[in-house]
Amino acid sequence: MGSYILRRLLHAIPILFGVMVITFILFYGIQSPRVMAKRILGDKAKEEAVQNWLHQRGYDKPVFINLKGGNPFDSQFFRHVGALATFNLGTSDATGEPVIERFKQGALPSLSVTLPAFFMGIVIAVCAALYFVHVRDTAADLAGTIGSVVLMSLPIMVWVICGHALFAVWLRYVPAFGFSLAPGDAVRFLALPVCLLVFAGLGSDVRLYRAIFLEESRGEYVRTARAKGLSNQAVLLRHVLKNGMISIITLTVAALPALIMGTLVIEDFFGIPGLGSLALDAIRSSDFSVIRATTYVGSVLYLIGLILTDICYALVDPRIKLR
Amino acid sequence: MLLWLAGCSNNPHVAPWKTARPDGEPWITSYRGFSDDPRTLDPQVAYDELSHRVLSLTYDNFLTYDPFKKESTLIPGLAAELPVREDLPDGKVSYLCKLKPGIYFHDDVCFPDGKGRELTSEDFHYVFKRIADPKVQCPIASTLAEFLDGIGERYEAAQKTGTFDYDAPVGAITVVDRYTFRINLRKPYPQIKYWLAFAFTSPVAREAVEYYDGKVHDGKTRDLFRFHPVGTGPFKIAQWERGRLIRLIKNERYTAMKFPEGGWEPEEEARLRPYAGAALPIIDEIQLLPTREIIPLWTLFKQGYVEGIGVSKDTFNAVLGPDRELVPLYRERGVVLNKEVEMSTWYMMFNMQDKVLGPNRKLRQAMSVVFDAEAMNDIFRNGIALTTQQLLPPGIFGFDPNLVNPYRQTNVEKARQLMVEAGYPGGIDPKTGKPLELVMDTVADSGLSRQMAEFEKGQYEQLGIKVRIEENMFATMLKKQETGDFQFVSAGWNADYPDAENYFFLLYGPNQPPQGYNQARYTNPEFDKLFEKMATMENTPERYAIIQEMNRILIEDCVIAPLITDVSYILFQPWAKPVAKNTIISKFGGARYSILDTALREQKRGEWNHRSLWPAMVAGAALVGFVAWGLRKKGGVRG
């Protein structure tokens, strides 16, 4: 397994290099550092101020290769690649704050939403999927299918606006905005964002898990268990659930590392100062340093998630060997 | 679950810093929405509105504006009196400035024993050194370098050597004594007084700048100075969690300003008289909630959890009726509608170096006469902006309320006649026999900007000409304006300070891009001469007359077609009626005068936030019913 993981890590290098190149090219394709300077300093910034800003951040260096003499790698592109490769995330172009500090500040608020939503989502989707397997081919199953398709069909923003209107505006059960992790405050601030995040992902999860459980329920061991006289509930809970969870765990573990990156829409809407909100803010303010850092860290976490998935498969399924 | 819901409050705020003042009186906290985090709280660096809103509460300026006068009038802030101009024999000018004694910086660990020291003239000297330091990146350094002694020289020297010697003096300031200093100018520049009312010249403590370096000391990382303001203002930052909360609390040692003894409108007498001469600030704490989305902020306002909100296009129809006044729902709630005329002017700008538009004054006049700014106001500003006929907005010295611009009285027939005189009868270019084709550059960053461009195109095509809209990315547009590669564009200007010079310099000949802002590339020796004279004058009748003469030239040359001055509509809760009437102060620093009726706030919040638990019970019962119904008709597991 060790050599497999090492190989996967080596495979990750060209992927991450690709991310660096694409981020850089996209950024330069959309706007030059000069425009970024104007956006950040304001339209009224004088030419000297713009030039000074560019110089202080190294944005006045050659773009790809330094052909003006001296070190050919003394260019914006190689500085960008070098910084990311060494996880030197630099300072925010807009505020001058170290990006790593913003990451440290934003990680906990993001996790306070995504982690509970992740686990609640699994528990609720598994329970619902088991229920629909149990009542399959009935009107309740059909209603569940329709409900799941509706949940899958609408984008998360619709659920956020509707959920906010219902629970915060009309019923006034929870605050319409804000965030606090203080004891006694955290639940009321997090309840709605977490529930909406669970709700938005529920449709696809229920359909997927239902399919997994149905597949399991067709296994030989289920027939044997029933032949031995076990009740439907007992078969579902003791055998189908246990075996189905192997697939579910391996599928969901891929998402775990990326949870730290938070959610763009929900964090922004409810004022949760997490990394999703940070990323959106960076896009709005043309803060290239933060955009490239969030993109790169997100890619690294995603790759880690994929490697973890493979490892989990090998660990829980004896038929799979990583070589 | 129901029990939790029953006990759960929808109040989005964290607990106030304290519950009572030292004298036992209740601690008063104001809650406000804030569209984002400030970018920086370094007064010598910040150039955005949000940062300045916070800076104006944490730092005081040498001068400020009278809070009760609509037309911006300078009054002493940290100053003991208004600066006295001294004309020197060599043509130079200096301003003698006297500070109030007994003003202290906020208590902070950067000072010995954590106690803020007294503000002195040396602190102003230090501020002008910071402005001259290229590493500080003060956006107005080059502007001040043009007028103030020593700024440019020190700036260039520091750029060459890479270091700035803060122990060497800068020629812009001469320290006379502990509370007196002189500002030395190369040439007359009365606008320096406005810069003294701007955060760029707010005094900062050298100890704070050097202490908050963002580095690790004794195992602890210190803040950067730009995130840790140590000023002399009425409030100090007690807590700043990015994206979540900015908590400002009262500076207990604040003595620089008192509540005015008078000057308010007669109908405010009963409300404001009890506070005359009172120590500032009146309230103890301000919680600013960075709220980027309008929907949650609007909900908080309706629930009584924020004190005020700007009326946006999304909420306009819900709040205001056809008469542009509050609808009954909000009137009955006691909500106050404040209308603030912005220091901005929007106009169509013609490129005077363009081969078609530049030499043809009649064509520009025709394009100005045909434009219906009223329709533009109705469609794109909900009819609340002011249509204008001059570059200066109201509230600026030199604005003439009776000015009639003959080329801004919408008249399609007159415009067509002008087209004949311009050599394009019916809009036809005699050289080609086809309609004259012009290109209008726009930034295509939203649906609204596209709609606006279509509207503008429609206005001009009434002349029979053909207008092609060239949609640009922001970057391309910027480049075109800098290089002059455009025919005409829609443009606008928000003033830095309330002075005519800050508008007319947009059309001053030598002020052309990339160094300057004269994007129209207008050059008129007569106008330039008048500008040079007007720019160095104090506000006198003679200056007013010169401004009118400049208006006359601009009207006739029709370099720009003034269209609109924006008006902001802001709603305030009945317990938080605004005190400051001046547009600048109401935005920047007006919270020091704020008065809150907290008893009324509690009462209204209770009335506006009734909750019923029955919908939750019904939903829970429906879910249980659905599960039970399915189980009753269950299928079962089949192998």
Q: Give the CATH number of the domain where residue A276 resides.
A: 1.10.3720.10
Chain B residues with CB inside 8 Å of A223's CB? 639
pLDDT tens-digit readout, B525-573: 999 999 999 998 989 999 999 999 999 999 999 999 999 999 999 999 9
Enumerate residues 6+ apart whose C-beta is below 8 A from A138: B630, B633, B634, B635
Contact B35/A at CB under 8 A: no
Question: Is B485's pLDDT higher than 80?
Answer: yes
CB contact under 8 A, A47 and B515: yes
Instruction: Give, in order, the Cα–Cα distances in Å from B308 to each of B95, B108, B265, B575.
Output: 39, 31, 22, 10
CB contact under 8 A, B629 and A48: no
Q: Which of A227-241, B215-229, B595-609 has the highest mean pLDDT?
A: B595-609
- Whether residue B235 contacts residue B57, with contact meaning beta carbons closer than 8 Å, is answered with yes
Mean pLDDT over residues B33-57, rounded?
A: 91
Residues A8 and A139 in one domain: no
Q: How many CB pairs under 8 A join A and B?
A: 191
Q: Phi and psi dihedrals of B224, rounded to 5?
A: -80, 150
CB contact under 8 A, A42 and B48: yes
Question: Is B635's pLDDT higher than 60?
Answer: no
CB contact under 8 A, A174 and B10: yes
Residues A229 and A279 in one domain: yes
Q: What is the DSSP letter of B91?
A: S
Residue ranges of B 131-150 with Cβ closer than 8 A to chain A: 134-135, 137-139, 141-143
Instruction: Write down which residue in A53, A85, A117 finishes a domain.
Output: A85
Chain B residues with CB inside 8 Å of A175's CB? 9-12
pLDDT tens-digit readout, B118-154: 999 999 999 999 999 998 988 888 889 989 999 999 9
Which percentage of chain A shows pLDDT scores above 90? 26
Number of domains in chain A: 2
Chain A residue nearest residue B228, CA to CA? A97
Residues A190 and A291 in one domain: yes
pLDDT tens-digit readout, B445-461: 677 888 999 999 999 99
Q: Phi and psi dihedrals of B344, rounded to 5?
A: -135, 155
- The band of A113, judged by pLDDT with boundaries at 50, 70 and 90, is very high
Residue ranges of B 592-621 with Cβ closer than 8 A to chain A: 609-612, 615-616
Instruction: Give, in order, the Cα–Cα distances in Å from B288 to each of B83, B280, B308, B442, B577.
Output: 34, 19, 11, 35, 18
Chain A residues with CB inside 8 Å of B514's CB? 47
Which residue of B147, B517, B637 is the best one to mutate when testing the A interface, meaning the one whose CB has the most A CBs within 10 A?
Answer: B637
- The band of B1, judged by pLDDT with boundaries at 50, 70 and 90, is low
Question: Is B633's pLDDT higher than 80?
Answer: no
Residues linked to residue B245 through DSSP beta bridges, in sequence order? B241
Contact B5/A at CB under 8 A: yes
Q: Which of B554, B437, B435, B439 has its CA nearest to residue B485? A: B439
Residue ranges of B 486-515 with Cβ closer than 8 A to chain A: 496, 514-515
- The band of B5, judged by pLDDT with boundaries at 50, 70 and 90, is low
Enumerate residues 6+ apart whose C-beta is below 8 A from B491: B346, B347, B348, B349, B519, B560
CB contact under 8 A, A95 and B226: yes
User: In which order are the strands placed within the sheet that holds B336-341?
Assistant: B308-310, B567-572, B336-341
Of A42, A191, A268, the CB nearest to B293: A268
Q: Which two tokens stand for residue B577?
A: 């009626």
pLDDT in the model for residue A97: 84
Rounded CA separation A105/A35 (Å) = 28
Instruction: Write down which residue in A34, A56, A85 finishes a domain.
Output: A85
**In terms of residue numbers, what domain contains A160?**
105-316
Q: Which of B290-294, B406-410, B509-513 has the highest mean pLDDT?
A: B406-410
Alpha helices in B492-540 (DSSP H): 501-504, 525-535
CB contact under 8 A, B296 and A44: no
Mean pLDDT over residues B232-250, rounded?
A: 94
Enumerate residues 6+ apart whose C-beta is below 8 A from B68: B260, B263, B264, B265, B580, B581, B582
More confident residue, B574 or A234: B574
Q: What is the DSSP letter of B25?
A: P
Q: How far apart are the first and last CA of chain A?
A: 6
Residues A136 and A221 in one domain: yes
CB contact under 8 A, A44 and B47: yes
Helix (H) or strand (E) holding B494, with range, is: strand B488-494
- 3-state SS of chain B: helix, strand, coil percent to 5? 35, 20, 45
pLDDT in the model for residue B634: 60
pLDDT in the model for residue B306: 96
Question: Is A74's pLDDT higher than 70?
Answer: yes
Rounded CA separation B178/B102 (Å) = 11
Calculate how close chain B gets to A131, using CA atoms only, in Å: 8
Enumerate residues 6+ apart whose C-beta is below 8 A from B431: none
CB contact under 8 A, B139 and A45: yes
Residues A292 and A146 in one domain: yes
Residue A323 lies in a domain: no
Q: What is the DSSP letter of B312?
A: P
Residue A275 lies in a domain: yes
- Whether residue B233 contacts residue B255, with contact meaning beta carbons closer than 8 Å, is answered with no
Instruction: Write down which residue in A21, A55, A85 finishes a domain.
Output: A85
Residue A261 lies in a domain: yes
Which percentage of chain B shows pLDDT scores above 70? 97
> Looking at B26-40, B314-328, B624-638, which range is the least confident one?
B624-638
Question: Is A60's pLDDT higher than 60?
Answer: yes
Length of chain A: 323
Is B525 exposed, middle or buried, given 0-12, 13-18 or 19+ CB atoms closer than 10 A? exposed
Calculate how close chain A gets to B1, using CA atoms only, in Å: 11
Q: Which two tokens stand for residue B380?
A: 């794109």
Mean pLDDT over residues B363-381, rounded?
A: 94
Rounded CA separation A189/A270 (Å) = 9
Of B134, B517, B611, the CB nearest to A172: B611
CB contact under 8 A, B139 and A96: no
CB contact under 8 A, A177 and B634: no
CB contact under 8 A, A46 and B11: no
CB contact under 8 A, B639 and A94: no
Residues A109 and A73 in one domain: no
Calculate how close chain A gets to B614, using CA atoms only, in Å: 10
Mean pLDDT over residues A185-211, rounded?
A: 91
Residues A126 and A266 in one domain: yes
Rounded CA separation B36/A281 (Å) = 9
Of B141, B289, B634, the CB nearest to A271: B289
Question: Is B639's pLDDT higher than 50?
Answer: no
Enumerate residues 6+ apart whose C-beta is below 8 A from B540: none
Residue A99 lies in a domain: no
Residues A231 and A122 in one domain: yes
Residue A100 lies in a domain: no
- 3-state SS of chain A: helix, strand, coil percent to 5? 75, 0, 25
Chain A residue nearest residue B144, CA to CA? A46
CB contact under 8 A, B611 and A133: no
Question: Is B7's pLDDT higher than 70?
Answer: no
Chain A residues with CB inside 8 Å of B610's CB? 172
| Residue B324 identity (one-letter amino acid) | R
Calculate how close chain B gets to A118, using CA atoms only, in Å: 20
pLDDT tens-digit readout, B301-350: 999 999 999 998 778 888 999 888 999 999 999 999 999 999 899 999 99
Residues A31 and A178 in one domain: no
Residues A37 and A168 in one domain: no
CB contact under 8 A, B244 and A179: yes
- Whether residue B184 contacts residue B94, with contact meaning beta carbons closer than 8 Å, is answered with yes
Rounded CA separation B515/B327 (Å) = 48
Residue A90 lies in a domain: no
pLDDT tens-digit readout, B423-445: 999 999 999 999 999 999 998 76
CA atoms within a 13 Å half-sphere pointing along the CA-CB vector of B377: 20
Residues A65 and A213 in one domain: no
Residue A92 lies in a domain: no
Of B303, B496, B635, the CB nearest to A137: B635
Residues A189 and A79 in one domain: no
Rounded CA separation B185/B190 (Å) = 10
CB contact under 8 A, A38 and B478: yes
More confident residue, B292 or B561: B561
pLDDT in the model for residue B612: 85
Query: What b-and-e string marks burial along B91-104, b requiring 16 or more CB atoms within 10 Å of the CB?
Result: eebbbebbbbeebb
Q: Which two tokens stand for residue B462?
A: 């009434």
Residue A290 lies in a domain: yes
B344-350 and B560-565 beta bridge pairing: antiparallel
